[in-house]
Structure 1
Amino acid sequence: MSQCNINTILYGPPGTGKTYNTVNYAVSIIENKEFMAICTEAYQDVFERYLTYKKQGQIRFVTFHQSYGYEEFIEGIKPVLNDEAEESIQYKIESGVFKEFCEQAQQLKLTAHDQVMEGNKKVWKISLGGSGKNWLKEECFKDNQIRIGWDEEGTDFIEDGEYPSDTLYYFYEGMSIGDIVFSLGDQKHIDAIGIITGEPEWLEAEEDFKRSREVEWIATDIYENIYELNGKTNLVQQTIYELWRLSINDVNNLILKYSQNDQIDVEENTNNYVFIIDEINRGNISKIFGELITLIEPTKRIGALEEMHVKLPYSKKDFGVPQNVYLLGTMNTADRSIALMDTALRRRFDFIEMLPNLNAVADIKVGHIHIQRLMEVMNARIEALYDREHTIGHAYFMSLKEDSSLENLANIFKNAIIPLLQEYFYEDYSKIQLVLGDHLKPQQYRFILDEKLSIKGLFGRAIDIDLPETKFHLQASAFEEPLSYIGIYGRVENEEVN
Structure 2
Amino acid sequence: MDAVFEIDTTTQRDDLKSGIKYYLSFLKNTGAAASSSIVKSAPMATANNTQFAKNIILCGTPGTGKTYSTVLYAVSIIEEKPFEAIKAEDYSAVFARYLKYKEGGLVAFTTFHQSFGYEEFIEGIRPVVSAEENAETGRDIEYEVHDGIFKSFCDKAGTPIGGGTSVDLGIGKSPSVWKVSLEGTGDNPTRTECMDNNHIRIGWDGYGETISDATDYSKDGGSTVLNAFYNRMQIGDIVMSCYSSKTIDAIGVITGEPEWHDEYQHYKRLRKVKWLVKGINEDIVDLNAGKTMTLSSVYKLSVSVSDALQILRKVKPTLFTQNVKIPNRVFIIDEINRGNISKVFGELITLIEPTKRIGAKEQLRALLPYSGQNFGVPDNVYLIGTMNTADRSIALIDTALRRRFSFVEMQPDSATLKDVLVDGIDISEMLDTLNKRITVLLDREHTIGHSYFLQPLKADPSIERLATIFENEIIPLLQEYFYDDYEKIQLVLGDNQKPDDSTRFIVKKTDAVKLFGNADIDFPEYYEINGEAFKRIDAYAFL
User: TM-score, normalised to structure 1's length?
Assistant: 0.83
Output the CA distance in 1 between the equivalents of 2:504 and 2:65.
Answer: 30
Alignment match, 2:168: 115
Aligned residue number for residue 28 of structure 2 = none
Give the counterpart of 2:272 among 202, 214, 219. Answer: 214
Deviation at 1:95, TM superposition (A): 2.6
Task: Indicate yes or no: 2:86 matched with 1:31.
Answer: no
Structure 1 residues 77-476: aligned runs within 5 Å:
77-84=125-132, 85-86=134-135, 87-107=139-159, 114-118=167-171, 119-127=173-181, 139-147=193-201, 154=210, 165-167=223-225, 169-184=227-242, 192-200=250-258, 212-218=270-276, 226=284, 229-231=287-289, 233=291, 235-236=293-294, 238-243=296-301, 245-248=302-305, 250-256=307-313, 259=316, 270-335=326-391, 340-398=396-454, 399-441=456-498, 442-452=500-510, 454=512, 457-458=515-516, 461-462=519-520, 469-476=524-531
Q: Distance in 2 between matches of 1:192 and 1:356?
A: 56
From the superposition, tell whether residues 196 and 103 of structure 1 become closer, same or farther in structure 2 (CA, over 3 Å). same
State the Cα distance separating 1:200 from its structure 2 match: 4.4
In the TM superposition, residue 165 of structure 1 has moved relative to its aligned partner by 5.0
Which residue in the other structure is 1:496 paired with? Answer: none
Rounded to whole Å, the distance in 2 between the matches of 1:468 and 1:81 is 66
Query: What are the superposed Cα offsets for residues 299-351 of structure 1, whole Å, 9 maximum, x if unpaired?
Result: 33333343333222223333332322222221111015999432212222222
Gaps of 5+ in 2: 1-48, 215-221
- Asked if 1:58 is matched to 2:106, the reply is yes
Change (3 A) 1:199 1:447: farther
Deviates more, 1:74-83 or 1:40-49: 74-83
CA contact (8 A) 1:79 1:92 kept: yes
Give the match's secondary structure for 2:363: coil
User: Unmatched 5+ residue regions in structure 1?
Assistant: 159-163, 490-498
Q: Is contact 2:287-2:374 (8 Å) kept? A: no
RMSD: 3.6
Q: 1:259 to 1:137 in 2, by over 3 A?
A: same
Deviation at 1:380? 1.4
Residue in 1 that maps onto 2:115: 67
How far is 1:167 from its partner?
A: 4.5
Q: Is the 8 A contact 1:15 1:356 kept in 2?
A: yes
Larger CA deviation: 337-346 vs 171-180: 337-346
SS at match of 1:313: coil
The equivalent of 1:161 in structure 2 is: none
Query: Match for 2:442: what amino acid?
Result: Y
Q: Which residue identity does 1:104 align to in structure 2?
A: K
Taking the aligned partners of 1:312 and 1:39, their CA distance within structure 2 comes to 39
CA distance in 2, matches of 1:280, 1:91: 30
Q: For 1:301 and 1:135, locate their aligned partners in 2 and report how far apart those are by CA, in whole Å.
A: 42
The answer on whether the counterparts of 1:356 and 1:393 sit within 8 Å (CA) in structure 2 is yes
- Aligned equivalents of 2:427, 2:241: Cα separation in 1: 68
Aligned equivalent of 1:45: 93
The amino acid of 1:251's aligned partner reads: A
Per the TM alignment, residue 236 of structure 1 is displaced from its structure 2 partner at its CA by 4.6
Report the 3-state secondary structure (helix = DSSP H, G, I; strand = E; otherwise coil) of the residue aligned with 1:435.
helix
Q: What is the CA distance between 1:169 and its match in structure 2?
A: 4.5
Q: Quick check: 2:328–2:381 contact (8 Å CA) kept in 1? A: yes
Tell me, yes or no, if the aligned pair for 1:274 and 1:326 is still in contact at 8 Å. Answer: yes
Q: Quick one: which amino acid aligns to residue 430 of structure 2? A: L
Once the two structures are overlaid, the 10-residue window that deviates more, 290-299 or 12-21, is: 290-299
Once residues 199 and 42 of structure 1 are traced to their aligned partners in structure 2, the CA distance between those partners, rounded to angstroms, is 43
Task: Please name the residue that 1:12 is paired with.
Answer: 60
SS in structure 2 of the partner of residue 115 of structure 1: coil
User: Is the partner of 1:121 in helix, strand or coil?
Assistant: coil
Question: C-alpha deviations, 1:229-272, integer Å up to 9, x for none?
Answer: 544545455553212x2344653454456659x9x668886422
- Offset at residue 198 of structure 1 (A): 2.6
CA contact (8 A) 1:440 1:487 kept: no
Q: Distance in 2 between matches of 1:251 and 1:419?
A: 53
Alpha-carbon displacement from aligned partner over 1:76-98 (angstroms, at most 9, x marks no partner): 22333222323533332233222
Residue deviations 1:417-457, cap 9 Å, x none?
A: 11111111112222222222223333222222231253684
SS at match of 1:215: strand
- Deviation (angstroms), 1:21: 0.9
For residues 432-491 of structure 1, what are the alpha-carbon distances to aligned partners after superposition, in whole Å with 9 as ceiling and x for unaligned? 22222223333222222231253684387335xxx861222322222332333x2342xx
Which moves more between the two structures, 344-353 or 219-228? 219-228
Correspondence for 1:495: none
Q: Distance in 2 between matches of 1:48 and 1:364?
A: 26
- Measure the CA separation in 1 of the matches of 2:290 and 2:245: 11
**Contact preservation (8 Å) 2:63, 2:412:** yes
Instruction: Give the deviation of 1:59 after TM superposition.
Output: 1.7
TM-score of the two chains, using structure 2 as the length reference: 0.76
Aligned pairs, number: 477
Paired-residue identity, %: 50
Per-residue CA deviation, residues 144-194 of structure 1 (Å, 9 max, x unaligned), is: 223556765747879xxxxx9555553454222221123455665656432
Cα drift, residue 125 of structure 1: 2.6
State how far apart, in whole Å, the 2-side matches of 1:227 and 1:306 are. 22
Q: In 2, Cα distance between the equivalents of 1:234 and 1:297? A: 30
The alpha carbon displacement at 1:386 in A equals 0.8
